[in-house]
Structure 1
Amino acid sequence: MKLSAEQLEWTVQGRRLLDNVSLEVEPREMFGLVGPNGSGKTTLLRLLAGLRKPRRGAVMVDDRAMSGMRRRDIARHVALVEQQADTTDRVTARQVVSLGRTPFLLPLRPWSSDDDAVVERALGDVDMRHLADRLWHTLSGGERQRIHIARALAQQPKILLLDEPTNHLDIRHQLSILQLVRQLPVTVVIALHDLNQAMNCDRIGVMDKGRLIDVGPPGQVLTSTRLRHTFGVHADLIEDPLDGSHIMRFRNVV
């Protein structure tokens, strides 16, 4: 499913957080969003998810304006994993994941064994079946993050939006979550701080001061000039002798 944005603007208290942002993400593409803190990545993801209405511009799902879609219909197509989402309710990890099935429940279509199977599969995908009956407040930050991802997977979305999903995760689960996301047969937009992780996306978009300033394959976009001007760092490209892949080693601009 294709996701596109046309000339999006978002303003808070006179401050423009997004300025004329347009992009098009192709079906099953993995599109990375990178940029300094405060560059607008989170705001853009929330507009793409339909949680906010842009001050100007439009979000399109397969050329259908999201503004004309019901919230339930949006949730059946688009899932968002935010950086921070918490609750004080006394709920288990499995109950949180089960919330992902809410858009599909109707008076004539109550909870079924099929929903149970979807939830169990989502828990397994993020390696959390063994903690499924633990209360939410007893989970670590990394465990909660994996449960949030499982809740999104339980929605069975065609478009998956993730806001820095590897935050709070140990390196093993960072790699496993990114591999899982990469293998899903869905359109993915993922905001990342780690530029080496962004190198594995099909394309990336660079955000800076609320604008989308560059889009393209990672190797063409993350040039030494871009890294210096936008991120304030120098980078050395290092080739892995085992598989020929490339990673970047960063140094501060003096």
Structure 2
Amino acid sequence: MRLTAEHLDWTVQSKKLLDNVSLTVEPGQNYGLVGPNGSGKTTLLKLLAGLRKPRTGQVLLDGQPISRMRQRDIAQTLALVEQQAETTDRLNVRQAVGLGRTPFLSPLRPWSEQDDIIVARALNDVDMAHMADRLWHTLSGGERQRVHIARALAQQPNILLLDEPTNHLDIHHQLSILQLVRQLPVTVVIALHDLNQAMACDRIGVMDHGHLVADGPPAEVLTTERLQTTFGVQADLIEDPLDGSHIMRFRNAI
């Protein structure tokens, strides 16, 4: 499913957080969103998810304005994993992941064995099946993050939006979650703090002070000049002779 943003603006208390942002993410594409803290990544993801209404512009799902869609229909199509999402309810892990099935339930379509199967698969995908009966409030930050991702997977979305999903995760689970996301047959927009992790995306968008200042293949976008002007660091892009992949070697901050 194609995700399109057209000339999005977002302002809070006279401060413009997004300024004329336009992008198109093609079906099945893994799109990385990078930028310094406060550059507008989280705000853009919330607009793309339909959680906020842009001051100007619009978001389209396969050409249909998201503003004209019912929230239930959006939730059956698109899932968002936020950086911080808490609950005061006394839920266990399985129940928290089961919330991802809510958009599909109704009096005519109650919970079924198929929902149990979907939830179990999502828990297994994020390595949390062994904690399915643990209460939410007993989990660490990293474990909660994996439950959030499992809840989104339980929605079986066509579009998956993730806001720095590897925060709080150890390196093993960082790599496994990113590998899982890359293998999903869905359209993905993922905000990342680690630029080397972003190098594995199909395309990258660079946010800076509310503007989308670059958009394209990672090796073409994250140039030495861009790293200096946007991130204030000096780095070299190195090609791995074994597989041709690119990584950054950072030298120092400017």
1:107-139 alpha-carbon deviations (Å, 9 max, x no partner): 100000000000000000000000010000111
Gaps of 5+ in 1: none
Q: Verify: 1:161 aligned to 2:156, yes or no.
A: no
1:130 is matched by which residue type in structure 2?
Answer: H
Alignment correspondent of 1:120: 120
Deviation of 1:143 (Å): 0.4
State the alpha-carbon separation in 2 of the partners of residues 242 and 219 from structure 1. 17
Is the contact between residue 10 and residue 56 of structure 2 (CA under 8 Å) also seen in structure 1?
yes
Partner of 2:19: 19
Matched residues in 2 for 1:246 and 1:31: separation? 17
CA contact (8 A) 2:78 2:158 kept: yes
Give the equivalent residue in structure 1 for 2:96.
96
**Aligned-partner residue type, residue 136 of structure 1:** W
* Aligned counterpart, 2:177: 177
Which secondary structure state, in structure 2, belongs to the residue aligned with residue 52 of structure 1? coil
Offset from partner CA, 1:58-87 (integer Å, 9 cap, x none): 000000000000000000000000000011
Deviation per residue, 1:26-70 (Å, 9 max, x gap): 000000000000000000000000001111100000000000000
1: distance between equivalents of 2:237 and 2:203? 18
Structure 2: gaps spanning 5 or more residues: none
Q: 1:18 to 1:169 in 2, by over 3 A?
A: same
Residue 241 of structure 1: CA displacement?
4.5
Are 2:230 and 1:225 equivalent residues in the alignment?
no
Distance 2:105 2:139 in 1: 27
Q: Which residue of 2 aligns with 1:204?
A: 204
* Secondary structure in structure 2 of the residue aligned to 1:188: strand
RMSD between aligned residues: 0.9
Distance apart, 1:154 and its partner CA: 0.2
Structure 1 residue 171: Cα displacement: 0.5
For 1:253 and 1:167, the matched residues in 2 are separated by 22
SS in 2 for 1:28: coil
TM-aligned CA deviation for residue 242 of structure 1: 3.9
The two structures have a TM-score, normalised by structure 2, of 0.98
Q: Aligned residue for 2:130?
A: 130
In structure 2, the partner of 1:2 is: 2
Aligned to 1:79: 79
Equivalenced residue count is 254
- Structure 2 Cα separation of the partners of residues 153 and 87 of structure 1: 19
Counterpart-to-counterpart distance in 2, 1:78 and 1:246: 30
Runs of 4+ in 1 over 6 A off after TM superposition: none
Q: Which residue of 1 aligns with 2:54?
A: 54
Conserved 8 A contact 2:219-2:246: no
* Identity across the alignment (%): 77
1:124 and 1:42 map into 2 onto residues whose CA distance is 28
> What is the TM-score with the length of structure 1 in the denominator?
0.98
Matches of 1:115 and 1:187, distance apart in 2:
22
Give the structure 1 partner of residue 234 of structure 2: 234
Query: How far has the Cα of 1:88 moved from its partner?
Result: 1.9
Match of 2:32 in 1: 32
Instruction: Please give the per-residue CA displacement for 1:148-178, whole angstroms capped at 9, x wherever unaligned.
Output: 0000000000000000000000111101000
